[in-house]
Amino acid sequence: MPKIVDPGARRRAVAEAVLRVVGRRGLEAASLRNVAEEAGLAIGSVRHYFGDHDELVIFAMEELTGRIERRVRARVDRLLDPSAAAERGAGAEELLAEFLPLDPERHEEAVLWIAFATAARTRPGLLPHALALQDGLRTLVARVLSGAREAGALPDDLDTGAESLRLAALLDGLTFQAVLQPATLTPDVLRQTIRRHLDTLRRPG
């Protein structure tokens, strides 16, 4: 009997091959030939599941954003649980840390995200996904700050809109710098920077 192939699983496996190539060599190296070789497939097999190279790259970016969103959503669900209201002040730091390259998994995701987000400037197909993740980050940060304010950890008059934009920009900048200078911006330095920023927002006493 011929081997039955799950198309969805095969597409995801090819997308993972794209991410591995991009992580090692950059997005420009993710040609159909290189991706097929990485996936252990013939180029014809890759073309069978993706109409063209743009479709392949967009799908790989969707897989990456989905991976990040699932991890962060699990942390959000715990943080925003009503029974954990008293812990939101401390939990905010841990949630925001999910966006920083503090371990090999998150460092790899940061490298990939920077590659795709940079390419989105000139590849229209990638732009909506890049903007969606950025919008999601700012929305999430705003929810975290609002939750901490409701729990009494932040001043009642805190402008969560302005502060969420400032904090999201800080996370973006730290991530970019940590990818470029991992020996200087170590996980401890990243955590300390976020902690100090949050301390400037907290209610005195």
Residues 167-190 pLDDT 10s: 999 999 999 999 999 999 999 999
Contacts 24+ apart (CB under 8 A), 157-160: 158/201
pLDDT for 86: 47
Spell 95-132 as b/e; 16+ CB within 10 A means b: bbbbbbbbeeebbbbbbbbbbbbebbeebeebeebbee
Using a pLDDT cut of 70, give the percent of the chain over it. 90
pLDDT for 5: 67
- Say if 90 falls within a structural domain: yes
- Say if 105 falls within a structural domain: yes
> Could you give the CA distance from residue 126 to residue 138 in angstroms, rounded to a whole number?
19
Q: Which amino acid, residue 137?
A: L
Q: Which amino acid, residue 150?
A: E
Residue 177 exposure: Cα atoms within 13 Å on the Cβ side: 13
pLDDT for 150: 85
- Say if 60 falls within a structural domain: no
- Say if 178 falls within a structural domain: yes
Does position 1 have pLDDT exceeding 60, yes or no?
no
When pLDDT is cut at 50, 70 and 90, the band that residue 81 belongs to is low
> What's the pTM?
0.86
pLDDT for 79: 67
User: For position 102, which CATH number holds?
Assistant: 1.10.357.10
Please check whether residue 82 is in contact with residue 73, taking contact to mean a CB–CB distance below 8 angstroms: no
How many domains does the structure of the chain reveal?
A: 1
Please check whether residue 88 is in contact with residue 147, taking contact to mean a CB–CB distance below 8 angstroms: yes
pLDDT in tens, 39-75: 999 999 999 999 899 999 999 999 999 999 888 888 8
- Say if 139 falls within a structural domain: yes
- Say if 50 falls within a structural domain: no
List the domain range (segments joined by +) for residue 108.
85-201
- Say if 163 falls within a structural domain: yes
- Say if 68 falls within a structural domain: no
Q: What value does the mean pLDDT take over residues 144-167?
A: 88
> Could you give the CA distance from residue 14 to residue 183 in angstroms, rounded to a whole number?
32
What is the residue-averaged pLDDT of the chain?
Answer: 88
Q: What value does the mean pLDDT take over residues 97-112?
A: 94
